[in-house]
Chains A and B, each alone.
Chain A
Amino acid sequence: MLGPSVAWYLGVAAFLFGTGALGVLLRRNPLIVLLSLEIMLNGSNLALIAFSRHHGNGDGQIFALAVMAVAASEVVVGLGLIVALNRKRLALDVDKLSTLRG
């Protein structure tokens, strides 16, 4: 087998996922939160593809394609929400959007 072992790929995937998760948790701008989500999804995609190669079949790759489709749809909805927020002249800050508080 050529190149580094699967562990390296998984390490990079975990790093990407962690970065994304930290971004979602810590950033307040919804645009950045969405961006961090994308990073998380791509981290998991990387892990899927690495395993696909490792096992030598295409299942993981197909799954990664499905995740991409979901990510694209999610971005459409998310960006739409952000545009709508902007039009209403609401603050672009997720901490201020807390009307669902119990």
Chain B
Amino acid sequence: MIPAGAWICLLAPLAGTLAITLCGTRISRVTAAWISTASVAVAFVGAIVAFAGLLGETPHKRSHLSTAWTWLEAGTFKAGLSVLVDPLSVFMMLIVSGVGMLIVLYSVGYMDGDDEERRYFAYMSFFVFSMLLLVQGGNLLILLAGWGLVGLSSYLLIGFWHERPVAVAAAKKAFIMNALGDATMALAFFVLILHGRSLDFGIAFATSSHLSSTAVNLVALGLLGGAVAKSAQIPLHTWLPDAMEGPTPVSALIHAATMVTAGVYLIARTHPIFEQARTIGLVAAGTGALTLLVAGLVALVQTDIKRVIAYSTMSQIGYMFLGAGLGAYANGEFHLMTHAFFKALLFMAAGLVIHALAGEQDIRNMQGIGRLMPRTRWAFLIGSLALVGLPPFAGFFSKDSIIAAAMGAQWYGWIFWVCALVGTFLTGLYTFRLYFIVFPGEPSPFVREHYDAHHGKEGPWTMTVPVGILAVLAVIGGWIQFAPLWTPVTMWLAPVARTLDIAEPTSWEEGISSALAVALGLAGVAVAWMLYAKRERAVPVVPTLQRALEHKFYFDELYDALFYRPSAAIAEWSRRGFEEPVVLAAGPELGDETQLVGRGVRRLQTGLIRTYVLALAGGLAVLAVVFLSVR
């Protein structure tokens, strides 16, 4: 029953995609939307079935590998099309399909009336399928297949509005950056295959313990490369803010609930390799710490509502990387779950505002919208409080354990700990800057002019209901674990990814970290209130710093100078030096030469029979002479 639930969970969204694709225009747009929603709902039910099945077993037996058939066979190397059901994958399945279901439902309202709704919903289901394949994959090869498909479907969804050049460019950027990560992962897998002849989790992990330290570091580095690209961590983070060109539910699905958290899942899944290569694990934690600071700073000056939330996502995933890199896998995964709730909530509440203002995304034009949309305002406030991590909201429980875990580590732990605490201050500041600029106060003239009430409500029920559910989850979702008193998530994940002792904080460390994090978060909120509640300015006014932040620390410019310009120059050079003189000139040249030869050969065709006969006779004579003389 457990494998059946898992297979249903995996295949239902794929079936939804196929149904919508094959039916084409024979079904109405609304039908397509509901097929997609239903398929993800079925997946959620399948995940619950698998979860219930696992609950009924003793913890150390909770691992089921179900292989459909041998997918790939080359010599002694074999990889099956298999799904693995264990606490970690079920945990991810529940988040992906559960939050995914709410987001697809929300899309029914948000995308209503779009020209290509059917295509959108086919992509949505396909994305959920890819993500489920990633988290359920029974060996590293299937995981990589899911990994690649997630990249493909995010490319399709980000570039969904293909008539907008910006969206297409953003989609390409996301795809290329992700492809880079896919490549490093594939290289890591080649090293594993070379030494262990298998990509099954167990065998691969056993292999990694026999490898030389160079080899295991390379493998871990390759995996980290994939995780960093997919989770938009420095230095491969620049695609995520641009990806906001996609429809808002896509942002919620890709950039909150599922895709960007895949990197955290990968680290938790392959943790035996990272434990063999502790240095790389710490590099992961350091990447997370750096990203959470940089993203928090950049979020302070963004003026696009979705970009602020996107940078906040990067920052929060930085926390997860910090936790997972240090060995606190369960804390990382727990923050992943609560983050899925409150970040999807923030994106979807922002989507309600954007929807009501006919596509406007600039926060400077949204001032005072809270008066007209009181319930959205409450939902956004709940999401913001959960994001800052104030008790009793979800973020408090998950984020603080990560900060405390950093404190428990060695001397470098203190650096991470300070970074994480500064991060909470920044979180409070940028989150409530957004809130204070957009919601309170008198509605601005722009808002009055463009506000489009949806039958007197704040949005169709398909949009408001998911927001409501997520608002509830953003409040209570964190209550399932309150370290160190009450730790069911850690216990649940322990058979797969046991938290390292070094990352196990004492109660004293938990207490002081929580107190400081809450205090700094509140300080951030207070500073935001002082600066922005009076609505005098939308961005801070320190010119140099502001310019650096508005250019996102010049990462785009750096990559432009490092990669784009050299390759464009090489392309230009080879066009001038090779293509134009050689390739382009070859065509006409060949034609001319052929004509010239033809003009010569044509003379042989005289039209006189005697010539032909003479040629025949002459040829015969020559042949006869040759035969006779050779003999």
B-binding residues in A (CB < 8 A): 21, 24-26, 33, 94-95, 97-102
> Quick check: is B628 within 8 A (CB to CB) of the other chain?
no
Answer whether residue B22 sits at the interface, using C-beta atoms and an 8 A cutoff.
Answer: no
Residue B212 CB within 8 A of the other chain: no
Contact A98 B608 (CB under 8 A): yes
Q: How far is the CA of A21 from the CA of B606 in the complex (A)?
A: 19
Q: Which residues of B contact A21 (CB under 8 A)?
A: 613, 617
Q: Which residues of B contact A25 (CB under 8 A)?
A: 610, 613-614, 617
- Tell me if B631 counts as interface (CB < 8 A to partner A): no
In contact, B605 and A94 (Cβ under 8 angstroms): no
**Shortest Cβ-Cβ A-B pairs, 8 listed:** A102-B605, A101-B607, A98-B607, A102-B602, A100-B607, A94-B609, A25-B610, A98-B608
- Report yes or no: A94 in contact with B610, Cβ–Cβ below 8 A: yes
Complex CA–CA separation, A24 to B617 (angstroms): 11
Q: Judge whether B608 and A95 touch: CB under 8 Å.
A: yes
**Which residues of B are found within 8 Å of A24, using beta-carbon distances?**
609-610, 613
- Tell yes or no: B604 within 8 A of A by CB: yes
Which of chain A's residues has its CB closest to B602's CB?
A102
In the complex, A24 Cα to B608 Cα: how many Å?
A: 12
CB within 8 Å: A-B pair count: 35
Interface residues of B in 611-631 (CB under 8 A from A): 613-614, 617
Chain A residue contacts of B602, Cβ below 8 A: 102
What residues of chain B lie closer than 8 Å to A102, measured between beta carbons?
Answer: 601-607
19 contacts between A and B (CB under 8 A): A21-B613, A24-B609, A25-B613, A26-B610, A33-B609, A94-B608, A94-B610, A95-B608, A98-B608, A99-B607, A100-B607, A101-B606, A101-B607, A102-B601, A102-B602, A102-B603, A102-B604, A102-B605, A102-B606
Name the residue in A24, A26, A97, A102 with the highest tally of chain B Cβ atoms < 10 Å from its Cβ. Answer: A102
Residue in A closest to B605 when the chains form the complex, CB atoms:
A102
Note all chain A residues with C-beta closer than 8 A to B606.
Answer: 98, 101-102
Q: Give A56 to B603 CA distance when docked, in angstroms.
A: 49
Bound-state CA distance A39–B607 (Å) is 24
**Within 8 Å CB of B617, what residues of A?**
21, 25
Complex CA distance for A94 and B606, rounded to whole angstroms: 12
How far is it, in angstroms, between the C-alpha of A24 and the C-alpha of B607 when the chains are bound? Answer: 15
* Distance between B390 CB and nearest chain A CB, rounded to angstroms: 94
Chain B's interface size range is 10 to 19
Q: What's the Cα separation between A97 and B617 when bound, in Å? A: 21
Give CA–CA (A26, B605) in the complex, Å: 19
Q: How far is the CA of A82 from the CA of B609 in the complex (A)?
A: 15
How far, in whole Å, are A26 and B602 apart by their CA atoms in the complex? 24
CB-defined contacts of B608 to chain A, threshold 8 Å: 94-95, 98, 101
Q: How far is the CB of A24 from chain B (nearest CB, A)?
A: 6
- Chain A contacts of B614 at CB under 8 A? 25
Docked pose: A98 CA to B610 CA in angstroms: 11
**B575-619 at interface with A (beta carbon < 8 Å):** 601-610, 613-614, 617
Question: Most chain-A Cβ atoms within 10 A of its Cβ — which of B602, B606, B610, B613?
Answer: B610
A99 to B617, CA, bound (A): 23
Distance between B109 CB and nearest chain A CB, rounded to angstroms? 76
Taking the closest CB of chain A, its distance from the CB of B197, in whole angstroms, is 68
**A97 contacts across to B, CB distance below 8 A:** 607, 609
Residues from chain A with a CB closer than 8 A to the CB of B603 are: 102
Give bound CA distance, A88 to B602, whole Å. Answer: 29
What residues on B are CB-neighbors of A26 within 8 Å?
Answer: 610
A41 to chain B, nearest CB (A): 14
Closest A residue to B609 by beta carbon equals: A94
Task: Report how far A51 CA is from B605 CA in the complex, Å.
Answer: 38
What are the residues of chain A within 8 A of B605 when measuring CB–CB? 100-102
Taken together as a complex, chains A and B put the C-alpha atoms of A33 and B609 apart, in Å, by 10
Complex: A21 Cα to B615 Cα, angstroms: 12
Chain A residue nearest to B608 (CB atoms) is A98
Closest chain B CB from A69 CB (angstroms): 22
- Which B-chain residue is minimally distant from A100 (CB atoms)? B607
Give the Cβ gap from A62 to chain B, nearest Cβ, in Å.
24
What B residues does A99 contact at CB under 8 A?
A: 607
- In the complex, A94→B608 CA distance in Å? 7
How far in angstroms is the closest Cβ of chain A from B276? 79
- In angstroms, Cα B612 to Cα A101, docked, is 12
Chain B, Cβ-Cβ closest to A33: B609
- In the docked arrangement, what's the CA distance between A33 and B613, Å? 11
CB proximity of B615 to chain A, nearest CB, Å: 11
CA–CA, A21 and B610, complex, Å: 10
- 15 additional A-B residue pairs with CB within 8 Å, beyond A33-B609, A102-B606: A25-B610, A25-B613, A25-B614, A26-B610, A94-B608, A94-B609, A94-B610, A97-B609, A98-B606, A101-B606, A101-B608, A102-B602, A102-B603, A102-B604, A102-B605
Q: Which residue of A lies closest to B606 (CB)?
A: A101
Shortest B600–chain A CB gap in Å is 10
* Chain A residues, CB < 8 A from B609: 24, 33, 94, 97
How many whole Å from A26's CB to the nearest CB in chain B?
Answer: 8
Give the chain B neighbours of A100 by CB distance below 8 A.
605, 607
Q: How far is the CA of A66 from the CA of B57 in the complex (A)?
A: 93
Residue of A nearest to B598 (CB): A102
Which residues in chain B, 19-63, are within 8 Å of chain A measured between CB atoms? none
Residues on B with C-beta less than 8 A from A94 are 608-610
CB distance from B375 to the nearest CB of A (A): 89
Interface centre among B605, B606, B608, B617 (most CB of A within 10 A): B608
List residues of chain B with CB within 8 A of the CB of A101.
605-608
| Complex CA–CA separation, A97 to B612 (angstroms) | 14
- Cβ distance A15 to chain B, nearest Cβ, rounded Å: 16
Distance, CA A59 to CA B315, complexed state (A):
98
CB distance from A28 to the nearest CB of B (A): 9
User: Shortest distance in angstroms between B199's beta carbon and chain A's nearest beta carbon?
Assistant: 67
A99, closest chain B residue (CB): B607
Against A, the Cβ 8 Å flags (1 = close, 0 = not) of B205-224 are 00000000000000000000
Return the chain B residue nearest A95 by Cβ. Answer: B608
> Chain B residue with minimal CB distance to A98?
B607
The distance from the CB of B604 to the nearest CB of chain A, in whole angstroms, is: 7
